[in-house]
A and B are shown apart, each in its own frame.
Chain A
Amino acid sequence: MTARFFWIEVKDCFEHVSAKSGHEVISMTKKQKKVLYRIIIAAVLMVGLYFVPAEGYVKFALYLIPYFVIGYDILRKAALGILHGEVFDENFLMAVATVGAMLLGVYNESRGMEGEFSEGVAVMLFYQIGELFQAVAVGRSRRNISALMDIRPDYANVEDENGNLQQVDPEDVETGTVILVRPGEKVPIDGVVLEGTSSLNTAALTGESAPREITAGDEVISGCVNITGLLKIRTTKEFGESTVAKILDLVENSSMKKARTENFITKFAKYYTPAVCYSALALAVIPSVVNLIMGNPANWSTWIIRALTFLVISCPCALVISIPLSFFGGIGGASACGILVKGSNYLEALAKTKYVVFDKTGTLTKGVFEVIDICPSEEFSRSCAADPASGGASPRLVEYAAYAESYSTHPISKSLKKAYGQEIRPDRISQVEEIGGHGVTALVDGVQVAAGNEKLMKKLGISWQKNTGVGTVVHVAANGRYAGYILISDVVKEQSREAVAALKAAGVKKTVMLTGDSRTVAEHVAQKLGLDQVKSELLPAGKVEAVEELLGEKQPREMLAFVGDGINDAPVLSRADIGVAMGALGSDAAIEAADIVLMDDNPMKLALAIRISRKCLRIVTENIVFALTVKALCLVLGALGMANMWVAIFADVGVMVLAVLNAVRCLRAGK
């Protein structure tokens, strides 16, 4: 697996270098190319020197050429570091190790033995190869992530006074400007559609491939791609306030909030490097001195070479680079799935989620009312059965209710109209009378229709049937006789049940639902979804209290995530360990208040986010354990003299390369 990735990386490097194109996007920066040429020159020189029969100081002088070609910048940085009091860094380690190795060669020559100069050059050479590889790999993953988030619009089409289209910078478009978006173009700024119908591809924002149908009057979000029709849009925001700008800002800043593991490594490196340097010094001096005291030969050169090997092995690069890279890759991989994570710290916390608290409306349910049951009374059914023109009792009942409520804009009446499914003809209805808090009466096709709640039936002196379902009931009467009721309810999302089960499978201990809704509705939904606990009839402040109660209940290492739709949830989102806003397309408040934003309405994404976070942390742990184990092993071998410089080079560069390749896997964590 890793070998394959390595091959791909290496192949890509060569392809990009050989492409050598000045204007295309190339994989290496100028600086990196320069290093590559230096590596090639130094490598060729080294191979050449192997065949040159030079001896003694001439050989040393010849080896100095590739040494300086490959290492001059490291030596310079090490010198500058010492001047500025920043002694212990990897440049210093490398400089001391290689200069030491070269001097040891000279020392051996001076005593008439054959000096070894190739090791010092090789260490420098491989160190540079490792650094170059790391820089290229990091650059590549950076570009991969930006490609995933390729939602930045380049221009907006604005009509000038002569009616000609002009392409302008989205940042220059003022709020309220009319812009045109052609098929294939990105919507540059949030706005409202004035003319045109089309499908929008929201995949770049949500990871969802199903297109979204829009028509005049609908709000559109920047970053979507217009697929089919020409759209005329009036902008409602400036570019900087638009969804696309906010998302880009969020993703770009996400690596600024560092995870605990990252901070740990920083601190670790601070103590680790000096500790290693002093150990190496001790290794070089103490055994020889002890030998001298004991009256044995001191063996200075043996112990010095061991100390130098020790230094090369100990370089902390593998950890320092691979951990931020892992988190960054995880955040990038998550954003490709429509999950925006605001910082590595949240990605880290997500893996420890044990409590998930949901808001009901808009999170587990669609937040849209729908007719879920139609119950005509027996009498009404009989009369409809007798009249073939009625088209059946249930459709008739809905038709009456939809007509009676047709002048209302209440969500209930919208759902009735939707259930009716046909156009309302105003000429069929007259004498509409709304009775506040009760319902409506109207004359539909000459039939006196009353539609409303129990209070309306009571007021009209009509006996009604008690309903058994959960939701809002609309009773309907025709010509003073009870015709039946229609049950309307907020519909549970199809994925909610599965999502709760997936969270349980991902190790979440407790799932809780909070809602302002009535107890019966809440308990019905909770039971249907398999939630552990439900708190109903809560005011917004009550939600904060409920979350605080749960926060007090849990262990400190367990994390509590609150999932809401971002509307009126801001206090709870910020109070929870991890605030998750769902369906954030269009809700600015959610993007601001939440730590994690699920771009579409699918609650399954939370379980996916937890899985990505787990995988990412597993990779981080793998890298820490792997790097430290190999290094510790090589350090011991080096101190005992069983590992030479070549093993040391593997322990440094090899481990770093493997750790980086492993870290790059985080990018694919969501797949």
Chain B
Amino acid sequence: MKKTYKIEVDCANCALKMEEAAKKVEGVQEASVSFMTQKMKVEFAEGADERAVMQNVRKACKKVEDDCEIFLD
């Protein structure tokens, strides 16, 4: 399953860092961050709990880039 999230990130390099961090989170099969459109696209692994995974993704991203934000609705 794929989902797109709105994000807030200030620089292109930080967006890259977020992408790297998100990819490493368990339950994420593929992640891609577009700095230009301020969006993160996540493809979840089969059977993953999307909400729980996204909480972890958010945590992981905050760790590498502390003033980024992922809007989970």
Residues of A within 8 A of B (CB): 31, 73, 76-77, 80, 84, 86, 89-90, 131, 134-135, 138, 142, 252-253, 255-256, 266, 269, 316-317, 320-321, 324-325, 328
Closest to B35 in A: A324
Asked if B39 is at the interface of the complex by the 8 Å CB criterion, the answer is: yes
Write the nearest CB–CB distance from A620 to chain B, whole angstroms.
Answer: 14
Closest to A135 in B: B10
Asked if B12 is at the interface of the complex by the 8 Å CB criterion, the answer is: yes
Task: Indicate which residue in A76, A253, A266, A325 contacts B16 across the interface (CB closer than 8 Å).
Answer: A266
Question: Could you tell me the dominant secondary structure of chain B's interface residues?
Answer: mixed
Complex CA–CA separation, A31 to B34 (angstroms):
20
16 contacts between A and B (CB under 8 A): A76-B66, A80-B66, A89-B13, A90-B13, A131-B11, A134-B11, A138-B35, A253-B34, A255-B34, A255-B37, A317-B11, A321-B11, A324-B35, A324-B36, A325-B36, A328-B36
Asked if B41 is at the interface of the complex by the 8 Å CB criterion, the answer is: yes
Q: In the bound complex, do residue A84 and residue B64 qualify as a contact, i.e. CB atoms below 8 Å apart?
A: yes
Q: With A252-B39, A253-B41, A328-B36 in contact, do A320 and B64 touch (Cβ < 8 Å)?
A: no
Q: In the bound complex, do residue B12 and residue A320 qualify as a contact, i.e. CB atoms below 8 Å apart?
A: yes
Q: In the bound complex, do residue A142 and residue B36 qualify as a contact, i.e. CB atoms below 8 Å apart?
A: yes
Question: Could you tell me the dominant secondary structure of chain A's interface residues?
Answer: helix
Complex CA–CA separation, A428 to B13 (angstroms):
76
Write the nearest CB–CB distance from A298 to chain B, whole angstroms.
Answer: 36
Interface residue count on the B side (C-beta < 8 Å): 20
B33: chain A residues within 8 A (beta carbon): 256
Q: In the bound complex, do residue B12 and residue A255 qualify as a contact, i.e. CB atoms below 8 Å apart?
A: no
Q: In the bound complex, do residue A252 and residue B37 qualify as a contact, i.e. CB atoms below 8 Å apart?
A: yes
A266: chain B residues within 8 A (beta carbon): 16
Q: Considering the complex, which residues of chain B in the window 30-61 have a beta carbon less than 8 Å from any beta carbon of chain A?
A: 32-39, 41
Write the nearest CB–CB distance from B60 to chain A, whole angstroms.
Answer: 10
Complex CA–CA separation, A77 to B63 (angstroms):
10
Asked if B17 is at the interface of the complex by the 8 Å CB criterion, the answer is: yes
Residues of B within 8 A of A (CB): 4, 10-13, 16-17, 32-39, 41, 63-64, 66-67
Q: With A86-B64, A255-B36, A328-B36 in contact, do A31 and B13 touch (Cβ < 8 Å)?
A: no
Write the nearest CB–CB distance from B50 to chain A, whole angstroms.
Answer: 19
Complex CA–CA separation, A138 to B38 (angstroms):
11
Complex CA–CA separation, A252 to B37 (angstroms):
6
Complex CA–CA separation, A436 to B12 (angstroms):
66
Complex CA–CA separation, A89 to B66 (angstroms):
13
Q: With A77-B66, A84-B63, A84-B64 in contact, do A256 and B32 touch (Cβ < 8 Å)?
A: yes
Complex CA–CA separation, A80 to B13 (angstroms):
16
Write the nearest CB–CB distance from A562 to chain B, whole angstroms.
Answer: 26
Q: In the bound complex, do residue B10 and residue A31 qualify as a contact, i.e. CB atoms below 8 Å apart?
A: yes
**Given A142-B36, A253-B4, 15 further pairs, Cβ under 8 A:** A86-B64, A89-B13, A131-B11, A142-B38, A252-B34, A252-B37, A253-B39, A253-B41, A255-B34, A256-B39, A266-B16, A320-B16, A321-B11, A324-B35, A328-B36
* B12, B16, B63 — most chain A CB neighbours (10 Å): B12
Q: With A31-B10, A253-B41, A320-B12 in contact, do A138 and B63 touch (Cβ < 8 Å)?
A: no
Task: Indicate which residue in A76, A80, A142, A324 contacts B12 across the interface (CB closer than 8 Å).
Answer: A324
Complex CA–CA separation, A135 to B9 (angstroms):
10
B12: chain A residues within 8 A (beta carbon): 320-321, 324-325
Closest to A316 in B: B13
B67: chain A residues within 8 A (beta carbon): 73, 77
B38: chain A residues within 8 A (beta carbon): 142
Write the nearest CB–CB distance from A92 to chain B, whole angstroms.
Answer: 12
Q: In the bound complex, do residue A142 and residue B17 qualify as a contact, i.e. CB atoms below 8 Å apart?
A: no
* A131, A252, A256, A328 — most chain B CB neighbours (10 Å): A256
A269: chain B residues within 8 A (beta carbon): 13
A135: chain B residues within 8 A (beta carbon): 10-11
Closest to B39 in A: A252
Complex CA–CA separation, A89 to B41 (angstroms):
24
Complex CA–CA separation, A269 to B67 (angstroms):
21
Complex CA–CA separation, A664 to B12 (angstroms):
15
Closest to A146 in B: B37
Complex CA–CA separation, A80 to B64 (angstroms):
8
Complex CA–CA separation, A266 to B16 (angstroms):
8
* 9 cross-chain pairs, A with B, having the tightest CB-CB distances, nearest first: A328-B36, A256-B32, A255-B34, A255-B36, A321-B12, A320-B13, A320-B12, A252-B37, A256-B34
* A31, A255, A325 — most chain B CB neighbours (10 Å): A255
Complex CA–CA separation, A266 to B35 (angstroms):
13
B35: chain A residues within 8 A (beta carbon): 138, 255, 324
A131: chain B residues within 8 A (beta carbon): 10-11
Complex CA–CA separation, A647 to B67 (angstroms):
30
Write the nearest CB–CB distance from B15 to chain A, whole angstroms.
Answer: 9
Complex CA–CA separation, A581 to B10 (angstroms):
36
Complex CA–CA separation, A225 to B17 (angstroms):
41
